[in-house]
Structure 1
Amino acid sequence: MFGIAMPLKYLADMPLAVRIVGSIHGLLFVCLVLAFLLATRRVPISKGLATMGIVAAVLPFGPFVFDRWLVEI
C-alpha cells in the first residue's frame, strides 16, 4: 500500500488507487483472521497462539517475526 498506492495518490493525483488497494488489503486481513479462527478448530493450536498471529499481522513486519518464531518452536 505504501509502495504503490500512496505514491500514486500524492504524486500522480490518483486517490482511487488507495481506495482499491486499501479495500483489497482489508479483505485479505479479514481472510487472515478467518484462517486463524478455522485453524484453531482444525489443527491443534491454542487460541493464544492464534491471537498472537493476529496481533503480529497488525504490526509492521510482524508476520515475518511470528513465522520465524513458529519455525523455532
Structure 2
Amino acid sequence: MFSLLNIFRVIAFLEGISYILLLFIATPIKYFGDDEQYVKLLGMPHGLLFVTYIVLAIMLKSELKWDTKQFGIVLLASIIPFGTFYIERAYLKPQRDG
C-alpha cells in the first residue's frame, strides 16, 4: 500500500501543485501586488517537495528500470510547470496498470 512508487506519486502530485501555485499565483502577487507573503508561505514547502521528488526519483530509477534518457526526463519534469503530471501519465501509470 505504501510502496515507494505510491509515495513518489503523491509527492509528484503535491510538488506539481505547489509549483503551479508558486509560479502562477504567488509570484504575480509578489510583483504586481507588492506582497511577498505568498511566496514566503509556498516557497519552503515547494522546496522540500522538490528535493523529496528528486531523491525519490533517484531511489526509483533502478526499480522502474529507467534508462538515462527516461531518468533525465523525470528529473527535468520537476522544473517544468505541469511536468510532474506528465510523468504520472507517461511513466508511472503504466507501472500501476501493468
Q: TM-score under structure 2 normalisation? A: 0.54
2:50 paired with 1:36: no
Larger radius of gyration: 1
1:68 corresponds to 2:89: yes
CA RMSD, 1 decimal: 2.4
Please list every run of 5 or more consecutive structure 2 residues that lacks an aligned counterpart in the other structure.
1-21
SS in 1 for 2:56: helix
Larger RCO, structures 1/2 (Cα 8 Å, 6+ apart) = 2
The corresponding residue for 1:18 is: 39
Number of aligned pairs?
Answer: 70
> Which stretches of structure 1, 4 residues or more, deviate above 6 A after TM superposition?
none
Structure 1 gap segments, 5+ residues each? none
| CA distance in structure 2 between the aligned counterparts of 1:25 and 1:45, rounded to whole angstroms | 27
Identity level (%):
27
